[in-house]
A and B are shown apart, each in its own frame.
Chain A
């Protein structure tokens, strides 16, 4: 271990500095004149058995309205080859044009929920909302069950274990806003207890 004697500084503004965090695109079906929506939201795991995830959407955002209306969405995990499309989705609103076209993504159909997907996604989680929570001052948080998970190509083994070397996904470094692929494997959950069966 290193560096414990190093100096420590408070940031002038506290920040949720947790590098890396997931970088995923939420897709939700349109309604009432609003088109199908793609949006980059804070996305996170709540539990693995049973699999549950959450997303945090801005109250004023169109995705928030649609998520409330539809109660279903897909989380799409993309690889580094689509990082520009990912950012184009993040930087545009539906009023500026069709986000699928802007980003060069293809629209797919989910299997178990009524929501569009991003076909290019390496991993898709089809999710059904079971709780909607207001988070003042400006967010709505949705908790959801993962009904099914699908992957593009042979990026998992027959047991459903993700093979990181086969899929160059990226995370976001909360604190600098950068996207990073994975570098080197350092270990796995349970490595100090002779466990190698924990995937989440």
Chain B
């Protein structure tokens, strides 16, 4: 039966809020400096840890070619850097300059963090940094490439997890993007956890 309270949007949208709001770091080459850019980022599996990124051919802002795409094809490695609200303006500046070929670290004042297992740079201000190695890439017509990757190393700032490596969400002002309005929102109230309805369940983090 048709639900009278349900409205179809004028245009379909990928409205699954909240989505991760993170910065990808890729190594440069002899022509281009190391790049930082905001891309759609997501989890593919918890065990083993696998993630994905969807990278546009062109910047949605300028219409010019994104810097990161060919670097990612070339090196097959990237970092994912999880910001907190204390540097949200820098986050947005990065998002607005995906086609610029200058030094994104200098542009934003963020600090380069060398990775240990890959060449791609991380961001020292990021509460969480994932070092990732590409497994496969997939063309997404008309204008994107999706990369699947193994997370080979995860580092966190002091206090972001407990001693057992479990994330403490309240340790920073983490924020997500509300896909559907483009707004950044911090986490609010904890309303449950995976396995809350089961009496005996191992702790599930992913």
Residues of chain A touching chain B, judged by Cβ–Cβ distance below 8 Å, are 1-4, 6-22, 24, 42-54, 56, 75, 77, 80, 83-84, 86-88, 90-91, 108-109, 111, 119, 123-126, 131, 133, 135, 137-139, 141, 143, 146-154, 156, 159-164, 169-193, 195-196, 198-200
Contact = CB atoms under 8 A, between A and B. Distances in A.
Contact of B166 (A50, A80, A176, A199): A176
Contact of B45 (A16, A84, A160, A188): A16
Interface stretch (B27-35, B65-73, B184-192): B184-192
Per CB-CB distance, the 7 closest pairs between chain A and chain B, nearest first, are A175-B167, A162-B180, A44-B42, A183-B188, A182-B185, A183-B186, A189-B182
Interface in B2-16: 3, 5-16
Contacts of B109: 1
B43 A3 contact: no
- In this complex, the interface size class of chain B, counting residues with CB under 8 Å from chain A, is 35 or more
B143 A47 contact: yes
Nearest to B124: A4
B205 A188 contact: no
Contact of B194 (A45, A150, A169, A177): A177
A191 B176 CA distance: 15
B157 A7 contact: yes
B183 A188 contact: yes
A139 B50 contact: yes
Contacts of A174: 43, 46, 167, 205-206
B129 to A, nearest CB: 8
A152 B6 contact: yes
Contacts of A50: 142
Interface of B: 1, 3, 5-20, 22, 40-46, 48-52, 54, 56, 60-61, 80, 82, 85-90, 92-93, 95-96, 109-111, 113, 116, 124-125, 127-131, 135-136, 138, 140, 142-144, 146, 148, 151-159, 161, 165-169, 173-198, 201, 203-206
Given A163-B181, A200-B182, A180 B45 contact: no
Contacts of A125: 12, 14-16
Given A135-B50, A174-B167, 7 more contacts: A3-B125, A9-B156, A18-B80, A86-B192, A151-B7, A182-B17, A182-B18
A47 B156 contact: no
Contacts of A154: 7
A170 to B, nearest CB: 6
A14 B166 contact: no
B196 A84 contact: yes
A108 B17 CA distance: 21
Nearest to A173: B169
B49 A4 contact: no
Given A19-B82, A151-B6, A184 B185 contact: yes
19 contacts: A1-B109, A7-B158, A11-B156, A15-B154, A19-B128, A22-B16, A47-B144, A54-B52, A80-B191, A131-B140, A164-B185, A175-B161, A179-B194, A180-B169, A180-B187, A182-B178, A190-B96, A193-B92, A198-B60
